[in-house]
C-alpha cells in the first residue's frame, strides 16, 4: 500500500515553484500599488516657464482630491516661494536637516487654499526681483498619502506697481466769433495704458498616469492567480499519480 502522507518529489517541486514565483511577483505588486498614488499634473506658473514678473499667486493641480487643512497653517498643505537669493531653498526637499532659510524671504501671503484637486497660494510680490523662483510644496492626498516636491520658474522683470491710467484731458472750446459760427467740439484724447503681456506658460507635462498603474496591478493579480491555480493542479496531479 502506498503511503500518501508523504510529499512526492514532484509535489515538493511544485511548492518550491509557487514560493519562487510569489517572491518574484511581490516587488511588482508593490510597485504597481505605489504608482497608483495621486500625482502632480500641472502648475501655474508652469514648471521651468518664463513669466514677466512674480505673479499674485501660484497654484498646483493634482490627479485626485487633496485633504483640506483642518485649520490654516496646520502643516497639511504648505506652499513656499523663494527667490534666487535663498540658496538653501532646494535643500528643503533634498536635505531638510541642512536647509537654513531663516534669512530667506518667503513670498507666500497667508495660508494656502485647497479646493478639490487644486491648492492655491496667494503671494506678496511687492519688491520681488527678476530671476529664478523656487516653489516648495507639501500636500496630503485624499488617500492619506503625503507628498512634497519643488519646481522653479523665472521672472524676467522685477515687480512694479500697476500703472494708473491718467485722467482724460478735455480741450478748451473754441471762441465764438459770430452767432452764425458754431463752437468747435473739444477733442478728448483717449489715455491708453500699455499692459505687459505675460507669456503663456507651457502646461506641465503630466506625471505618471495613475490609471496605468491600476491596469498593471490587475494584470499582475491575474497572472498570480493563474500561477497559483497551475501549482495546485500540479500538486493534485502528482498526488493522484503517486
pLDDT digits (tens, 9 = 90+) for 2-33: 455 455 555 566 555 555 555 555 454 444 44
User: What pLDDT does 24 receive?
Assistant: 55
> What pTM, to 2 d.p., does this model score?
0.57
User: What pLDDT does 240 receive?
Assistant: 77
CA angle 125, 58, 106 (to 5 degrees): 50
Q: Is the pLDDT of residue 228 over 80?
A: yes
Q: Span 210-235, mean pLDDT?
A: 77
Q: Span 61-65, mean pLDDT?
A: 96
- Picking from 46-50, 72-76, 124-128, which range would have the lowest pLDDT averaged per residue? 72-76
The x, y and z cell numbers of residue 157, run together, are: 522683470
pLDDT band at 204 (very low <50, low <70, confident <90, very high): very low
- Residue 209 vs residue 64, higher pLDDT: 64
Q: Is the pLDDT of residue 180 over 60?
A: no
In our burial notation (b when 16+ CB lie closer than 10 A, e otherwise), range 124-143 reads: bbeebebeebbbbbbbbbee
CA angle 105, 110, 112 (to 5 degrees): 105
Residue whose C-alpha cell is 505588486: 29
What is the DSSP secondary structure assignment for residue 66, as one 8-state letter? B
User: What pLDDT does 194 receive?
Assistant: 40
Class of domain 40-160: mainly beta
Residue ranges per structural domain of the chain = 1-37+208-242, 40-160
Percentage of residues in the chain with pLDDT exceeding 90? 46
pLDDT digits (tens, 9 = 90+) for 112-146: 999 999 999 999 999 999 999 999 999 999 988 99
pLDDT digits (tens, 9 = 90+) for 75-112: 899 999 999 999 999 999 999 999 999 999 999 999 99
> φ, ψ for residue 50 (rounded to 5)?
-120, 125
pLDDT band at 56 (very low <50, low <70, confident <90, very high): very high
User: What pLDDT does 32 receive?
Assistant: 43
User: What pLDDT does 195 receive?
Assistant: 35
User: What pLDDT does 235 receive?
Assistant: 83
Amino acid at each position: 500500500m502506498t503511503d500518501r502522507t508523504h510529499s512526492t518529489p514532484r509535489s515538493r517541486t511544485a511548492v518550491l515553484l509557487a514560493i519562487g514565483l510569489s517572491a518574484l511577483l511581490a516587488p511588482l505588486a508593490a510597485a504597481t500599488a505605489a504608482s497608483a498614488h495621486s500625482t502632480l499634473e500641472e502648475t501655474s506658473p508652469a514648471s521651468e516657464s518664463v513669466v514677466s514678473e512674480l505673479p499674485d499667486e501660484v497654484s498646483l493641480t493634482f490627479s485626485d482630491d487633496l485633504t483640506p487643512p483642518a485649520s490654516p497653517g496646520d502643516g497639511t498643505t504648505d506652499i513656499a516661494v523663494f527667490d534666487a537669493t535663498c540658496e538653501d531653498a532646494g535643500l528643503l526637499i533634498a536635505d531638510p536637516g541642512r536647509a537654513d532659510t531663516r534669512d530667506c524671504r518667503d513670498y507666500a501671503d497667508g495660508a494656502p487654499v485647497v479646493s478639490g484637486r487644486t491648492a492655491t497660494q496667494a503671494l506678496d510680490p511687492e519688491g520681488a526681483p527678476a530671476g529664478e523662483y523656487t516653489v516648495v510644496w507639501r500636500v496630503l492626498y485624499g488617500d492619506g498619502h503625503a507628498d512634497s516636491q519643488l519646481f522653479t520658474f523665472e521672472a524676467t522683470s522685477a515687480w512694479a506697481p500697476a500703472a494708473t491710467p491718467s485722467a482724460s484731458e478735455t480741450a478748451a472750446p473754441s471762441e465764438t466769433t459770430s452767432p452764425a459760427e458754431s463752437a468747435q467740439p473739444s477733442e478728448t484724447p483717449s489715455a491708453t495704458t500699455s499692459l505687459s503681456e505675460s507669456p503663456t506658460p507651457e502646461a506641465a507635462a503630466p506625471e505618471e498616469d495613475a490609471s496605468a498603474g491600476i491596469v498593471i496591478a490587475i494584470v499582475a493579480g491575474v497572472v498570480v492567480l493563474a500561477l497559483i491555480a497551475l501549482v495546485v493542479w500540479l500538486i493534485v496531479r502528482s498526488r493522484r499519480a503517486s
